[in-house]
Protein backbone atom coordinates (compact mmCIF):
# COMPACT_ATOMS: atom_id res chain seq x y z
CA UNK A 1 0.00 0.00 0.00
CA UNK A 2 2.80 2.44 0.83
CA UNK A 3 5.17 1.16 -1.88
CA UNK A 4 3.92 3.48 -4.67
CA UNK A 5 4.18 6.50 -2.36
CA UNK A 6 7.72 5.54 -1.32
CA UNK A 7 8.71 5.02 -4.98
CA UNK A 8 7.33 8.44 -5.96
CA UNK A 9 9.07 10.13 -3.04
CA UNK A 10 12.36 8.41 -3.91
CA UNK A 11 12.07 9.54 -7.51
CA UNK A 12 11.24 13.15 -6.69
CA UNK A 13 13.84 13.44 -3.90
CA UNK A 14 16.67 11.81 -5.90
CA UNK A 15 19.95 13.57 -5.15
CA UNK A 16 18.49 15.25 -2.06
CA UNK A 17 17.61 12.31 0.20
CA UNK A 18 17.98 8.56 0.33
CA UNK A 19 14.56 6.93 0.38
CA UNK A 20 14.14 3.21 0.84
CA UNK A 21 11.58 0.63 1.78
CA UNK A 22 12.69 -2.15 4.11
CA UNK A 23 10.65 -5.29 4.64
CA UNK A 24 11.70 -6.10 8.21
CA UNK A 25 9.45 -9.15 8.44
CA UNK A 26 11.58 -10.74 5.71
CA UNK A 27 14.95 -9.45 6.95
CA UNK A 28 14.93 -9.58 10.75
CA UNK A 29 18.41 -8.05 11.31
CA UNK A 30 16.85 -4.64 12.03
CA UNK A 31 14.09 -5.78 14.39
CA UNK A 32 16.02 -4.68 17.49
CA UNK A 33 16.66 -1.20 16.10
CA UNK A 34 13.10 -0.78 14.81
CA UNK A 35 10.80 -3.10 16.83
CA UNK A 36 7.47 -2.15 15.26
CA UNK A 37 4.40 -4.31 15.23
CA UNK A 38 2.59 -2.63 12.34
CA UNK A 39 3.11 -3.54 8.72
CA UNK A 40 4.03 0.03 7.81
CA UNK A 41 6.21 2.26 9.91
CA UNK A 42 7.93 5.32 8.48
CA UNK A 43 11.19 6.55 9.98
CA UNK A 44 13.13 9.66 8.96
CA UNK A 45 16.80 9.63 9.92
CA UNK A 46 19.24 12.53 9.76
CA UNK A 47 22.87 12.07 10.70
CA UNK A 48 22.08 8.57 11.94
CA UNK A 49 19.43 9.81 14.39
CA UNK A 50 15.67 9.37 14.25
CA UNK A 51 14.05 12.78 13.76
CA UNK A 52 10.53 11.57 12.95
CA UNK A 53 8.57 8.35 12.93
CA UNK A 54 4.99 7.33 12.32
CA UNK A 55 3.16 4.03 12.44
CA UNK A 56 0.92 3.41 9.47
CA UNK A 57 0.89 4.83 5.98
CA UNK A 58 1.63 8.31 4.66
CA UNK A 59 1.23 9.83 1.24
CA UNK A 60 4.03 11.19 -0.93
CA UNK A 61 3.43 14.81 0.03
CA UNK A 62 3.72 14.05 3.75
CA UNK A 63 6.89 11.99 3.30
CA UNK A 64 8.49 14.71 1.20
CA UNK A 65 7.64 17.34 3.81
CA UNK A 66 9.24 15.22 6.55
CA UNK A 67 12.41 14.79 4.49
CA UNK A 68 12.66 18.49 3.70
CA UNK A 69 12.29 19.43 7.36
CA UNK A 70 14.60 16.71 8.76
CA UNK A 71 17.69 18.94 8.81
CA UNK A 72 15.79 21.68 10.62
CA UNK A 73 14.33 19.28 13.19
CA UNK A 74 17.69 17.70 14.02
CA UNK A 75 19.55 21.01 14.38
CATH number of domain containing 13: 3.40.30.10
| 16, 67 Cβ separation under 8 angstroms | yes
What is the structure's pLDDT at 11?
92
Residue range of the domain that includes 14: 3-74
Higher per-residue confidence, 31 vs 14: 14
Query: What is the radius of gyration, based on Cα positions, of the chain?
Result: 12
| 43, 66 Cβ separation under 8 angstroms | no
Q: How many independent structural domains does the chain possess?
A: 1
* Cα–Cα dist 58/60, whole Å: 7
What is the structure's pLDDT at 62?
92
Of 14-18, 24-28, 54-58, where does mean pLDDT reach its minimum?
A: 24-28
Q: Please state the φ and ψ torsions of residue 46, each to the nearest 5 degrees.
A: -140, 125
What is the structure's pLDDT at 42?
83
Amino acid sequence: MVAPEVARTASEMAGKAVVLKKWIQKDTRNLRAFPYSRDSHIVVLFGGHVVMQQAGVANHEQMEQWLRSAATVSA
